[in-house]
A and B are shown apart, each in its own frame.
Chain A
Amino acid sequence: MEGGTGLLIALGVFVLFAILGYNRLIRLRNMADKAFASIDAMAKKRYDLIPNLVATVQQYMQHERATLTEITEMRAKAVSGNLSDNEKVDLDNKISRAMGGIMVAVENYPDLKANQNFIQLQGSLNEVEEQLSAARRAYNAAVTDYNNACQMFPSNVFAMVFNFRTKRLFEISEQERQNVDVKSLFRSS
Chain B
Amino acid sequence: MKTLQEFEAFFQKEMMADLKILDQRRRDQVKRYTWIVLLTLLGLLLCVVLYLNFGRHSHSSAAGYIYLITGLAILITSAIVMSTWARDKTFYQDFKQKVIEPIVGFVSPDLQYEPRNFIGADSFQRSRIFMKTVDRYTGDDMVQGKIDKTQIWFSEVKAEYKSTTTDNKGHTKTTWHTIFKGLFFIADFNKHFQTSTVVLPNRLGKGVLGNFLNKMNWVRREKHVRLEDPEFNKHFVVYGEDQIEARYVLSTALMQRLTEFRKKHPNPIYVSFVNSFLYIAIAYQKDLFEPTWFKKLTRFSLVKEYFEDIQLAVSIVEELNLNNRIWTKQ
Give chain A's interface residues, CB within 8 Å of chain B.
35, 38, 120, 122-124, 126-127, 130-131, 133-135, 137-138, 140-142, 176-179, 181-183
- A134 lies within 8 A of B226 (CB): no
- B191 lies within 8 A of A127 (CB): yes
25 inter-chain pairs at a CB distance below 8 angstroms, sorted by A residue, are A35-B243, A38-B244, A120-B328, A123-B327, A123-B328, A126-B327, A127-B191, A127-B192, A130-B191, A130-B248, A131-B248, A133-B247, A133-B251, A134-B244, A134-B245, A134-B247, A134-B248, A135-B244, A137-B252, A138-B243, A177-B253, A179-B321, A181-B326, A182-B326, A183-B326
- B226 lies within 8 A of A141 (CB): yes
Give chain B's interface residues, CB within 8 Å of chain A.
191-192, 225-228, 243-248, 251-254, 321, 324, 326-328
- B247 lies within 8 A of A138 (CB): yes
- A130 lies within 8 A of B244 (CB): no
The CA-CA distance from A188 to B328 in the complex, in Å, is: 23
Which secondary structure dominates where chain A touches chain B?
helix
Residues of B within 8 A of A120 (CB): 328
Residues of A within 8 A of B244 (CB): 35, 38, 131, 134-135, 138
The CA-CA distance from A120 to B253 in the complex, in Å, is: 23
Name the residue on A nearest B321 (C-beta).
A179
Residues of B within 8 A of A178 (CB): 252-253
The CA-CA distance from A182 to B254 in the complex, in Å, is: 17
Residues of B within 8 A of A127 (CB): 191-192, 327-328
Residues of B within 8 A of A131 (CB): 244, 248
The CA-CA distance from A183 to B251 in the complex, in Å, is: 17
The CA-CA distance from A179 to B328 in the complex, in Å, is: 14
A120-B328, A123-B326 known; A141+B228 contact, CB < 8 A: yes
User: How close is A76's CB to chain B, nearest CB, in angstroms?
Assistant: 26
Residues of B within 8 A of A142 (CB): 243
